[in-house]
Structure 1
Amino acid sequence: MPLLARTVQAPLHIDVRRGAVADLRRILADGRISAGGDVAVVVGPGLGEQIHDLIRPTLGAADVYTTAGGTLDAALELAEKLRSRHYDAVVGIGGGSTVDTAKYAATRWAIPMVSVATSLANDGIASPVASLINEGIKGSYGVHIPIAVVVDLDFVDSGPDRVNRGGIGDVISNISALADWELAREVRNEPVDGLAASLARMGAEAVLNHPGDMSDDVFVTVLAEALIASGLAMAVCGTSRPTSGGCHEIMHATDSLYPGTASHGELAGLGALFCTFLRGDERRFTEMSACLARHQLPRTPGDVGLDADQFVRVVEFAPRTRPDRYTILEHLEMKPNEIAERLAAYDAAVAAR
């Protein structure tokens, strides 16, 4: 009897540890990515000089490019520079905007891309998606999944604590996104990919129930691996469905209506908690609220500087950010007065915990 299986695109190499950037030459060689170090290294303006000093002794054949802004124009400009000569790979080192710019530019010329994360703000470090700003609006662009994913815990440890804690909110929002996916299956008969759901759920559960914090290498490693697993979940099913539901609709709506309010992960965590409350899932609401509070992440609109009227507008606008997606927000079809009533009850429920 023939065996049926799927072929899943996944990184050839994953490495989460301290000292990874300084050891990049060996990582590229051992992973059969670049034996001679003929790579294009892409860095952001913030850490560029420090990273250049770390890699230069062992990656003398590399060209280093600096990019800034996380815009589509910056990615296209970088792509043109990559045509200067042959590269074994493009190595994006930095935060989300730097890595996404490198992912998009590398995909333009079908060059393998290595993602080297120096922060843990969201699950973009291993996803087949690049979030880039075009004409003032952030959009999601399909790209090839990184051939390798590296997380340097030294850089994570020295980075802004708030930025890294945002990744916690992004990971646990998977729980809400998966509940929305199940709702879409029940109501609209939308297929759910079990493997993608399992990858997204495992990482979220690991972070949700871990007693550590960002000062604990074990917890930070679990968080990094959970973010990578979220990226793989998206690659498995070819959509962001396992990691993005009403929680991310709220995040995108906030970014559109009130840009600069909070980070991606902070808003995703807040949106996930609110959507979980709307579902009436008391157990999950209690678990997620406790996790967000433990890691000093926002739980109410007031925590991110939004008043009740502003958040009502956000929730009303949110379904427009993903017209093809069915979540608890589309299911309830709440009018502004209904949203205001639910929000008041939500604020009281959070305050009681």
Structure 2
Amino acid sequence: MPLLARSVQTPLHIEVRRGAVADLGAILSDGRISAGGDVAVVVGPGQGERIAELLEPTLGSADLFTTTGGSLDAANELGSKLRNRSYDAVVGIGGGKTVDVAKYAAMRRGLPMVSVATSLANDGIASPVASLVTDGIKGSYGVHIPIAVIVDLDFVESGPERHNRAGIGDVLSNISALADWELARQVRGEPVDGLAASLARAAAEALINHPGDMTDDDFVIVLAEGLISSGLAMAVCGSSRPASGGCHEIMHAIDTLFPETASHGELAGLGALFCTWLRGDERRLRQMSACLARHNLPRTPADVGLDDEQFAAAVAFAPRTRPDRYTILEHLDLGADEVRSRLGDYVDALDRDDD
């Protein structure tokens, strides 16, 4: 009998709304994740007191852990602490670093993990990947997909606007990542998972055509759901392929060569725009450039404080960050000198579109 369907791991519960952290006890109980609130709550260093105050009425039996740094060491340290008691689940509340530490620690202990995002900086909130720093280098570690994904719009609104806007660049980069995936199919015969591609594409298309901004709840919900869909796309195909191509290779290269230049989402958006220009896709270039400009996100190396020499070095180095991945960067095989010579044309193309 032919296989007519496939099973896909997804979160049991997804919720994007205001007041979600205060209602966390009810959400966990209603979702049959933890009826009694016996969970380990992991927070970052900046908001522990506020979160503890909100959780006390409904999650009084929870243990609160604070983590910092977003490193593999921090995740392993948290995993050791989780051995001291039996928990129903690990609940990571915060930004990407906190959620990733909680993901990895939960996996090591064999516990389900609940991702509660208080910022929208990248698509890690729902992905089966934890980005953790080891010996100064950020690496990606496969983990279980969260059993629930919750976004509290109150926390998002009160957080740094720049961090939240950065998520726009990460979702937008799906367009370039999918083009790279199709290129790999054409050149190397790499299989493309249609369902994963559809989820990633729908997220980007919904965002690129939305007229709102971060002051508009409707837009913020589209952004949050786009980040979640990107994470689900990765879970569907068991790879970051639908949301990570040459765009993320450039991002990882800049992180390696010039640390703390800009955030994940800001660099992913910039990398996606440059890769789209290299691809010669003028229609997409105009669309993506207009979206990034509308949301005050970087479009040129100068926007993130890099000169042409530095950006060219990063682009030339980028393929080394994902040796197994075929993108427009591997296809063109540009050296630093050639990238540098093309940067003027790239900036000119953006200026023409702005006029």
Provide the residue aligned with 1:66 in structure 2. 66
Secondary structure of the equivalent of 1:150?
strand
**Counterpart secondary structure, 1:61:** coil
1:99 aligns with 2:88: no
Equivalent position of 1:344 in the other structure: 344
Q: Provide the secondary structure at the position in 1 that maps to 2:173.
A: helix
Separation (CA, whole Å) in 1 of partners of 2:78 and 2:182: 40
TM-score if structure 1 supplies the norm length?
A: 0.99
5 Å matches for 1:1-353?
Answer: 4-352=4-352, 353=354
For 1:142 and 1:3, locate their aligned partners in 2 and report how far apart those are by CA, in whole Å: 27
In structure 2, distance between residues paired with 1:9 and 1:125: 15
**CA deviation digits over 1:251-297, x for unaligned, max 9?**
00000000010000000000000000000000000000000000000
| Residues in 1 aligned to 2:57 and 2:336: alpha-carbon distance in whole angstroms | 60
Q: Which AA in structure 1 matches 2:175?
A: I
Query: What CA distance in whole angstroms lies between the structure 2 residues aligned with 1:122 and 1:2?
Result: 38
Deviations 1:132-186 (A, max 9, x none): 0011111000000000000000000000000000000000000000000000000
What TM-score, normalized to structure 2? 0.98
Q: Which amino acid aligns with 1:86?
A: S
Question: How far does residue 340 in structure 1 lie from its aligned partner after superposition?
Answer: 1.6
Tell me the CA shift for residue 3 of structure 1: 5.2
- Report deviation, 1:4: 1.8
Matching residue's letter, 2:103: K
Which one-letter code corresponds to 1:161 in the other structure?
A: E
Name the aligned partner's letter for residue 268 of structure 2.
A
Give unpaired runs (5+ residues) of structure 1. Answer: none
Alpha-carbon distance between aligned partners in 2 of 1:310 and 1:2, rounded to the nearest angstrom: 53
CA distance in 1, matches of 2:166, 2:60: 35
Cα separation, 2, equivalents of 1:39 and 1:236:
27
1:76 is displaced (CA, Å) by: 0.3
Q: Give the fraction of aligned pairs with identical amino acids, expressed as a percent.
A: 77
Counterpart AA for 1:102: A
The CA distance in 2 between the partners of 1:207 and 1:291, in whole Å, is 9
Moved over 2 A (4+): none
RMSD across aligned C-alpha pairs, in angstroms?
A: 0.8
DSSP-derived class of the 2:90 partner: strand
Contact (CA 8 Å) 1:22, 1:55: kept in 2 or not? yes
Post-superposition offset of 1:2:
5.3
* Partner amino acid, structure 2, of 1:326: Y
Q: Which amino acid aligns with 1:224?
A: A
Distance of 1:40 and 1:191 partners within structure 2: 40
Distance 1:145 1:313 in 2: 35
Map Cα deviations across residues 86-116 of structure 1 (whole Å, 9 max, x no partner). 1000000000000000000000011000000
- Per the alignment, in what secondary structure is the counterpart of residue 92 of structure 1? strand
Q: How many residues are matched?
A: 353
